Amino acid sequence: MLMRARSANHGSPDSAPAHVLIVDDEPAVRKVLATLLSQAGISSSVAANPQEALALLEKTAFEAVISDLRMGPDSGFELLQEVRKRFPNLPFVMATGVDDVRVGVQAMKAGADDYLLKPFDIDVVLASLQRARERKQLESELENYRLHLEQMVSLRTRELQAALAELEHSHSATLEALGSAIDLRDGPTAGHSKRVLLYSLKIAQEVGGLEDQLRTLGMGAWLHDIGKLAIPDSILLKPGALTRAERQKMERHVEIGYDLVKSIPFLTDAAEIILAHHERYNGSGYPCGLRGEGIPLEARIFAIADSFDAMTSDRPYRSAFPMKTARSIIDVGRGELFDPQIVDAFLAVGEDTWTMIGEDSQRASVQKLVSGNDSRLPPAGIVTCPAHPPNTPLSSRQGRA
Ligand SMILES: [Fe+2]
């Protein structure tokens, strides 16, 4: 066949279309082009206008279209537009008698894969069909590649989300285990960490406007005594009163705890609460003697939750105080040990509610309490003291006693 004879000049015969639709309003042009294609081994059908062409395209599978640009009242552009809509992957070559490169550029911009000048030269026609087909193949490969990339991105995104969920679960489980270890170590205060976590969250809820700080507050409350893991049993579990030296060692637990967790990215803010959890509103606390609003708000909230739980829990050396007594003592401490506004928020919660929270605490999941929200919350009030150079900016020195 001529097609095969010419294939050496026009690339692989496999890349030339086998069945072409010729669209031209002039019968003589249609006949000449069909004959030329036939001699090259390519079958064709003919249409006199865009309507006929579209009807044929709907019925028959073509591998390319060669369409005249001007067909009486019809335009090859209209056909091109419709073909692009219905058969986006069908190679389309625009033919024109106008020897003007701008017409060809316009056709290509409108979606044609190539353009031809009349009168037809079979070598040029074959080369054009081949280019058009190769272009469409390339577009198809690019589209497949794009789809493959999208699938890969989607898959990787799902894998990343699963990994992040696993990481979140792991770090929450680690937190839960750490807090439990603290409570186990400090036997007489069993359940203390979880209760003060819940009490702190309840007070914060009552204070209001702290939704973004709840997670940091929860983690700080849960891990507040993590530094006690480094305190010797002889001091931590001593039944009697501590000596001055022993008390000083015990008080080091806030700094030890701070140093333990400050470098863990998701615990950096909670570390500030750990460091400040024994500060007192009147400046009588430790380790820095911060006072008033110089103490991070979360630590001021925690201080009330911690004292409340300490008073309402049994100790080896005394029984739990009645709740009414504990509330009165906290009320008396307003402006001295405790932030008055937070005392008000605490007292606004009824005794029944505190009882219920205390009873429910053993069933509560710390993982759920501290891992349900966005992990990048606004920082807690950053605080430091000369004894503890920060790994975060100093923002409040004014409260030092
Ligand atoms: Fe403590």
Single pTM value for the model: 0.56
Centre of ligand 1 to C-alpha 226, Å, is 8
SS3 at position 100: coil
pLDDT tens per residue across span 20-61? 999 999 999 999 999 999 999 999 999 999 999 999 999 999
Query: Residue 59 in contact with residue 77, Cβ under 8 Å?
Result: no
pLDDT tens per residue across span 341-387? 999 999 999 999 999 998 887 777 776 666 554 333 333 334 445 44
* Lowest-confidence pick of 15-19, 360-364, 397-401: 397-401
Q: What is the pLDDT of residue 278?
A: 96
Centre of ligand 1 to C-alpha 351, Å, is 25
Q: What is the pLDDT of residue 16?
A: 56
* Lowest-confidence pick of 5-14, 146-155, 296-305: 5-14
pLDDT tens per residue across span 204-259? 999 999 988 898 999 999 899 999 988 998 898 887 889 999 999 999 999 999 99
Centre of ligand 1 to C-alpha 220, Å, is 11
Residues 355 and 47: their CA atoms lie apart, in Å, by 88
Centre of ligand 1 to C-alpha 299, Å, is 11
Q: Is 206 left (phi over 0), alpha (psi -120 to 50) or beta?
A: alpha
Give helix 323-332 / helix 340-347 axis angle, nearest 10°: 160
Centre of ligand 1 to C-alpha 348, Å, is 25
Taken in order of first residue, the domains within the chain and their CATH numbers are 2-142 (3.40.50.2300), 186-371 (1.10.3210.10)
Q: What is the pLDDT of residue 15?
A: 54
Residues 13 and 51: their CA atoms lie apart, in Å, by 31
Match 């309402």 to its residue by tokens.
312
Centre of ligand 1 to C-alpha 224, Å, is 6
Q: What is the pLDDT of residue 72?
A: 86
Q: What is the pLDDT of residue 367?
A: 63
Both structure tokens of 8? 């050496």
Whether residue 301 is predicted with pLDDT greater than 50 in this model: the reply is yes
294 φ/ψ angles, rounded to the nearest 5 degrees:
-70, -20
Centre of ligand 1 to C-alpha 29, Å, is 97
Centre of ligand 1 to C-alpha 65, Å, is 83
